[in-house]
Chain A
């Protein structure tokens, strides 16, 4: 699945902020880490802010912070803010001009269904926890390699 650039940055920025709750993170920090222009990032943050996922504070010490519930917000929730045309339209199979095109659309719909279910089941907190778990494993492996 290939996401648009804005969608990818929005997910990365949200995860970054959600992994540091109660912290004001300068937009410049996010822009630098993920290699995105501040102008582009500002547009992404505006959309996230309208959805009450992040909050921006201006002035000295200002920045953005995560204000959503990381255990409830899923990847699907964020992707849908930026992209709503990646799912095969529900009536497309019935409206297909030929039997083979209907069958093709049915298969594509099958893929969409699995994709949507996967994205709806992955919360921001799951990504953060799994990343921490993977990092812990890496450190343990490095330690055990160093000891042997």
Chain B
């Protein structure tokens, strides 16, 4: 896999308003900004690591949606085997659309592009984990056809 033009079906670019491609180094600044706005946390190192991971891990896809050259959203899909004891499946690790670009189908196109990456590897089971209070994002994933899976997350603060 090379970090050139996206080679999957979702790159058909049938919507002239935006294109979906692999994340490029120059996109990182916008990605950091969009994420900071959404999460309230500035974490450029994390996104640089994601960019590096894409170059070294063929199972890892870091995608951006661009409109007029501007980053409108991004998504990460990665294939994992025996994660939490589960056979090979695709994980949607991130999916975020910048506030000014919402309600234009960009999230769905990013999701479809991540799915196309999984399907190209013969994977049909897709999972994600998100904050329980992120109702809009949860609603988005449900709109795509996702529902509760076989896992439940538990946590504690050790004493």
> At the interface with chain A, which of B46-54, B58-66, B138-146?
B138-146
Give chain B interface residues in 107-159, CB to chain A under 8 Å.
Answer: 132-133, 135, 138-139, 142-143, 145, 147-148
B138 touches A121 (CB 8 A): yes
Q: How large is the interface on A (under 10, 10 to 19, 20 to 34, 35 or more residues)?
A: 10 to 19
Q: How large is the interface on B (under 10, 10 to 19, 20 to 34, 35 or more residues)?
A: 10 to 19
A114 touches B143 (CB 8 A): no
Residue pairs across A and B with Cβ atoms less than 8 A apart, 20 shown, are: A74-B135, A74-B139, A114-B132, A117-B135, A117-B138, A118-B148, A120-B138, A121-B135, A121-B138, A121-B139, A121-B142, A122-B142, A123-B139, A123-B142, A125-B143, A126-B139, A126-B143, A129-B145, A130-B145, A133-B145
Question: Does any Cβ of B come within 8 Å of A113's Cβ?
Answer: yes
**Docked complex Cα distance between A114 and B142 (Å):** 15
B136 to chain A, nearest CB (A): 8
**Docked complex Cα distance between A130 and B147 (Å):** 10
**Docked complex Cα distance between A117 and B138 (Å):** 9
Beyond the given A74-B139, A121-B135, A121-B139, could you list 6 further A-B residue pairs with CB under 8 A, ordered by the A residue number?
A: A114-B132, A123-B139, A125-B143, A129-B143, A129-B145, A130-B145
Q: Which residues of B sit under 8 angstroms from A125, Cβ to Cβ?
A: 143
CB-CB nearest in chain B for A118: B148
Q: Which residues of A sit under 8 angstroms from B133, Cβ to Cβ?
A: 117
A113 touches B143 (CB 8 A): no
For the residues of A in contact with B, the DSSP-based class is helix
A120 touches B135 (CB 8 A): yes
**Docked complex Cα distance between A126 and B147 (Å):** 11
**Docked complex Cα distance between A129 and B108 (Å):** 14
Q: Which residues of B sit under 8 angstroms from A129, Cβ to Cβ?
A: 143, 145
B132 touches A113 (CB 8 A): yes
The 7 tightest CB contacts between A and B, nearest first, are: A121-B138, A120-B135, A121-B139, A117-B132, A126-B142, A121-B135, A126-B143
Q: Which residues of B sit under 8 angstroms from A121, Cβ to Cβ?
A: 135, 138-139, 142
